[in-house]
Structures are given as structure tokens and as C-alpha cells.
Amino acid sequence: MNENAVITGVMRVIRGDRAELRDLEIGLIAHPASVTNDLLPSANALADAGYCPRVLFGPQHGMRGEKQDNMIESDSYSDPELGIPVHSLYGDVRKPNPEMLRDIDVLLFDLQDVGVRVYTFIWTMTLAMEACREAGVRFMVLDRPNPINGVDREGAILRSGYESFVGLHPIPLRHGLTAGEVARLANVEFGIGCDLDVVPCEDWSRADWFDSTGLPYVLPSPNLPTLESCIVYPGMVLLEGTNLSEGRGTTRPFEIFGAPYLSPSELVEHLSGYELPGVAFRPCFFEPVFQKHAERLCGGAQVHVIDRAAFRPVETAVRIIDAASKLAPHDFGWRQPPYEYEYEKMPIDILWGGDGLRTAVDEGMSVDGLLRESESDLAAFESIVRPYLLYD
């Protein structure tokens, strides 16, 4: 264990910072990245420390992290070590029902988020908060760092009418918050009103990236295997709303992208004209082994972040989409529903948070105005979120 590492919320509970929990029946929302600083699963560590976990819950990709793709559901089962039920919160049931909460006094949330609105873990959290309010159960967030720092924000704020499981409340695409801060914001500003407690991290500052925390990196989902994939994800996830491969089915998901109809050299030449900060593109070919264009030769590029402080992942992805639509106007297209349990709205619209990106690209408009609009929205969000921040 790194003695200088950030102390996460679960580590604080294990050392006794919420000693009253020892007398309570506990539920825990967890996944493979829910570990202590020495990599012991949180559920086991809490049990070893004298707490009483009675039921576990798994988010998208399953509590064991075994489900590779989106909309692949996990079954409920019994944990073989602790002998307690594990309920899936991804599928037809995404909000705990009263029966699931019947035997507990407090529900703990210990998921590693990645700081992006469309990453479903924070919406699993807010739905669980609603369920706890209705059931009279306490809700406690065991906070963890935002791996891509808590300073930078980018992208559109979710518009009314475009709510889905990849965005239930109006926050930016790259929101710059921890899960605990999202919970505090949602509990008041979005009217959830549950009995909420957040156990903040110790020794984490907003400007810190994950590789400065001293914590072990455990992939929070199968297609974010490294910090580098997390850094590009806030923008490159938008490619899920197109017929471009976002690199799923390769060893560099969200860093490699392309399609069978693109020329790597033409694509990179086009992108270089934007002079995007902090990033370089390498022309490449690849064959995804699953998902879009599986086992077909794709032309595209690899995103190389050369200055992560300057890099703007959302702007970069918007330019990539715009470039593909211009270079291959007859082949480029938008992914059709269903997507993440939304069967009517276009996937790109619920990812972006409105129809602005799709409209601009389809009408051949410059995306400059779209990017400026999202920047102005962020200024208003700053003043709203300030009272709910936990870290310097």
C-alpha cells in the first residue's frame, strides 16, 4: 500500500470515520474498481472491519465487470464469499425496488466514476437515491477522485426533453465533479431530497489526475482499461452515436477510431487543419473483433494526447465527426435507436444532450457556434455547482 496515497471514502469508513455504521444493516453498490488502497474488494474489506453488508448491487457491466458491451444485462446471484444476494441495477430494473432495500438501514455507493455525464454510474446513483428516499433508507456516497481532474469542464449541458439513462439531469458532458459532488448537487438542485451523507476523500485536490493519487488504477468498465482511455472518453464517447467505430473490439478503445469508408491519410490531413490543442493523430488501419464493423478493415487514426492539460476531448471528437461527414458524406451516418434503453430519441442526441450537434453536421453548418454555445453554458453551471463542491 502506498502510504502517501489519497484516502478514499471507503478507506475512511474502514478506519472508523463513520463508526455508527457498525450497528446498521448495510447495502453496497460496487463493481471491480470498488477496492481498498491495497486492492481488497470493498465489500470484503467492510465485512472484515466489522460492518454488516447484507445485500450488494451491481451497475452496468455487472458487479464483477464481466459484461463487455452496452445493453448486456447481468443476472442477480448470490455472492459466493459473503453469501449475500447481489442485485443487478442494469436492465429492466435500474432503480432498486422496495424489496431490495427491505432489510437494510443504509445504502453505500462506492463506484469509481470517470467524470463524464454519459457514464451511467452516476445515474445508477441518483436513481438509488430516489429509491432510498421513498423507502426511508439512508444513502451514503463513499467518494473517489475524478480520474481526469475536477477542474476542467467541457461540452453541452443536457437539455430538457433529452433525458435518458446516459443523462438524467442537466450537467455538462465533462462535468468536473466527483460522484459525491454530483450527489450533493442532485439532492438539492434536482429535488431528490434523500437522507444523504458523503464521505469525502482525503488528500485529493481538484487539479489532480488519477496517476498523482497514489491509488491503483482498476478499470471501471471493460472499455476504459487505462487512464489514457479515460482522458479521451469525454469526447470520443460521442462516436457511439455514429457509424464510426470508437475502437471497441480493439486493444485501444476510444483512442482508435475509424470506419471502412475512410482513408487514414485523408482523415489525418483534414484533422490537422483544425490545429487542435494537445493532440496528434496517427493514421492507422484496424479490424475490430466485435461491435461496429467487426472483422472488417477500417481506416482511421489513433488519438495521441501529447499535452493533457491543453487537450480538449469534446472539441476533438466534434471535429472528428464533422471531418468524417465531410470526407464521406454518402457513407457517414448516425446510429439508430435503441441505445441505452432509449427507443425513440437518436443516440447522438442523448449523448450530446440535445439535437444541436446532429443538426449542425446534417446541415453542413460550422460547428464553431455549437462549441461556443456550450462554453457559455458552462459559465452558468459554475455558479450553480459551487456550493456543492467538496475539494479545493
Domain containing residue 252: CATH number: 3.90.1150.140
Shared-domain flag, residues 241 and 210: no
The answer to whether position 384 is within a domain reads no
Shared-domain flag, residues 198 and 232: no
Q: Per residue in 345-389, pLDDT tens? A: 999 999 999 999 999 999 999 999 999 999 989 999 999 999 999
Shared-domain flag, residues 130 and 191: yes
Nearest to 210 by CA among 66, 67, 113: 113
Domain of residue 20, residue span: 9-218
Q: Per residue in 221-274, pLDDT tens? A: 999 999 999 999 999 999 999 999 999 999 999 999 999 999 999 999 999 999
Shared-domain flag, residues 141 and 37: yes
In the chain, the amino acid numbered 34 is S
The three-state secondary structure class of 82 is coil
The three-state secondary structure class of 380 is helix
The answer to whether position 373 is within a domain reads no
Residue 63's pLDDT is 76
Shared-domain flag, residues 125 and 59: yes
Shared-domain flag, residues 148 and 95: yes
Shared-domain flag, residues 38 and 187: yes
Determine phi and psi for 141, rounding to 5 degrees. Answer: -95, 120
- pTM value is 0.96
Last residue of a domain, one of 164, 193, 218: 218
Q: Per residue in 49-62, pLDDT tens? A: 999 999 999 999 88
Shared-domain flag, residues 212 and 252: no
Count: domains in the chain: 2
Last residue of a domain, one of 173, 195, 218: 218
Last residue of a domain, one of 160, 188, 218: 218
DSSP string, 261-284: T--HHHHHHHHHTT--TTEEEEEE
Q: Per residue in 312-357, pLDDT tens? A: 999 999 999 999 999 999 999 999 999 999 999 999 999 999 999 9
